[in-house]
Amino acid sequence: MELFHKSGPPAWLVVGLGNPGREYEFTRHNAGFLCVDLLAERCGAKLNKLKFHALLGSAVLGGQPCLLLKPQTWMNDSGLSVAEAARFYQIPPERVLVIFDDISLSCGRLRIRRQGSDGGHNGVKSVTARLGSAGFPRIKLGVGDRSHPDFDLRDWVLSAMGKDELLALRKACDQGCEAAEMILQGKIDSAMAAFNGAGPEK
């Protein structure tokens, strides 16, 4: 069954980054997945189709038909499914919204960028390489940095969040959903003004 048989082809891709598998569900690296799950819930969409190496579903967000997408590759190859979907629907990078975790922001804080570098995030690095462009908007969800610099970064981002952290992240995801709607409406400057730095102070 084809997606968008009623609302027409998607104008946007809205991508949450993470790792597949129940064991990674509530880890820091899966903040993007959690936010897209919440978006789907709010839109009444179902992420129950497997295509482009991703779980996906159609939605209307901010009045725009969009494809919600959760890559089912490992994080380091997230760009494979993003690029396949973007090519299939002929969606340019500036209409690919990527939502992901950021350890440089304290847990619960939010930052929106029109474009930019990967900041050392391997999922974003893969998306940039596969799209051939860093010119895609992104919503960064703060998950906090390691308590000690000697703590292995991979172990940190793949570790489960505590109850208080999950509550803080949930608030950031709520704000991320509102920001995503504004971005799809063409109001990214307003979204940045409203939400950049939103959340608990360090």
Residue 63 CA: distances (Å) to CA of 2, 43, 60, 66, 112: 21, 11, 6, 9, 20
Q: Give the integer Cα–Cα distance in Å for 82 and 15.
A: 8
Q: In residues, how long is the chain?
A: 202
Q: Give the integer Cα–Cα distance in Å for 10 and 85.
A: 10
Residue 78 CA: distances (Å) to CA of 12, 122, 148: 17, 9, 28
For the four alpha carbons of 31, 170, 146 and 162, in that order, the dihedral sign comes to negative
Q: What is the pLDDT of residue 142?
A: 92
| Side-chain half-sphere exposure of 71, counting CA atoms within 13 A | 30
Lowest-confidence pick of 36-40, 70-74, 97-101, 194-198: 194-198
Domain positions in the chain: 12-195
pLDDT at 202 over 80: no
Position 7 confidence tier, pLDDT thresholds 50, 70, 90 = low
Q: Give the integer Cα–Cα distance in Å for 85 and 74.
A: 17
Q: Domain 12-195: state its class.
A: alpha beta
By the 8 A CB rule, do 123 and 141 touch? no
Q: Model-level pTM?
A: 0.91
Position 144 confidence tier, pLDDT thresholds 50, 70, 90 = confident
AA letter at 135: G
Write out the catalytic residue numbers: 29
